[in-house]
Amino acid sequence: MNKETLSYKNTLSQCVIFMMKPLVRILLRSGVGFSDFAEWVKHAYVAVAEEEFTVDGKPQSTSRISILSGLHRKEVARIRKELDESKIPTTTTPANRAERVINAWLREPAYSRDQNAPLDLPFSSSNADTPSFESLVKEYSGDIHTTTLLEELTRLGAVEKLENEHLRLNQSGYIPIPESLDQIEVAAQSAHDLISTLSNNLNPDSDEPRFQRSVAYLHLSSDSIQEFKQYSKKENEKLLLKLNKWLAQHDMPLAEQKHASNQYRAGVGIYYFEELNNKSSQV
């Protein structure tokens, strides 16, 4: 191994450890030890090698995955079998039923005056042509009970009951409570999207770089932190609502989705960060 390769691997190892620390923090809080995590990482290695490191489009072999990943052939074969048996088809439809209902309430013409201008809905209606919360839930949440979903959305503060007994949507998206399974899934998707963008931008063979920017200063006071936290939240919300409106206007209607051959998931993620500026927090 030459000096340049050794230097690259040393730098990469330090950066990977640095990136892993927040993830390990989540795992330790959840009571997950290293043995479980190591097994999950093996599955990720095999899955990525299988899906993205084929040669000339040929089906991937257990032997080649073993060479790429450094895992024993028997272990690769076991993991491939486990991945195949538990594989879930990829979909751009929100997995959470509450999220599906809120998205439809915000964007579907029957339930919204305009994009992000949801109608106040009666709980139910005897007229099939009159939109109601009940019809919304039946159409977009699968087999979950209408009352159960309403209780969940009310608990989260996403929906309120008005004096006329109609229901009003209070937010422009689904925000699960901290430490819930939904919150973990949202966090995983956000981390996946960010690292996928970083991977694309670090790949010399990628067609074009994706937008990736951040701004940070190192010597802010506690008062400045509190002020910036509120200011950035307000400005970020404005931008996200503007982007959401554009995306909603260009997203395929349900009828078109069923027949379109190429459909893409795309978006922009925004996050706030802060930490004490000391040597232990730097690579």
Query: How confident is the prediction for the chain on average, in pLDDT?
Result: 86
Domain locations along the chain: 97-169
Res 8 pLDDT > 90 = no
In DSSP notation, 233-277 reads HHHHHHHHHHHHHHHHHHSPPHHHHTT-S----------------
Res 96 pLDDT > 70 = no
Band (93; pLDDT cuts 50, 70, 90): very low
Q: What are 101-152's pLDDT values in tens digits?
A: 888 898 888 998 876 689 999 999 988 889 999 999 998 887 778 898 898 8
Measured CA to CA, the distance from residue 72 to residue 70 in angstroms comes to: 7
Res 280 pLDDT > 70 = no
Band (2; pLDDT cuts 50, 70, 90): confident
Band (28; pLDDT cuts 50, 70, 90): confident
Res 31 pLDDT > 70 = yes
Band (170; pLDDT cuts 50, 70, 90): confident
Amino acid at 222: S
Region 254-276 average pLDDT: 91
What pLDDT score was predicted for residue 151? 87
Measured CA to CA, the distance from residue 151 to residue 174 in angstroms comes to: 14
Whether the CB-CB separation of 248 and 115 falls below 8 Å is answered with: yes
Report which of residues 8 and 92 the model is more confident about. Answer: 8
Q: Which tokens sit at 177? A: 């409570």
What percent of the chain lies above the pLDDT cut of 70? Answer: 90
Alpha-carbon radius of gyration of the chain: 23
Res 89 pLDDT > 70 = no
Measured CA to CA, the distance from residue 152 to residue 62 in angstroms comes to: 45
Degrees to nearest 5, angle at CA 54 with 78 and 7: 90
Q: What are 196-250's pLDDT values in tens digits?
A: 999 999 999 999 999 999 999 999 999 999 999 999 999 999 999 999 989 988 9
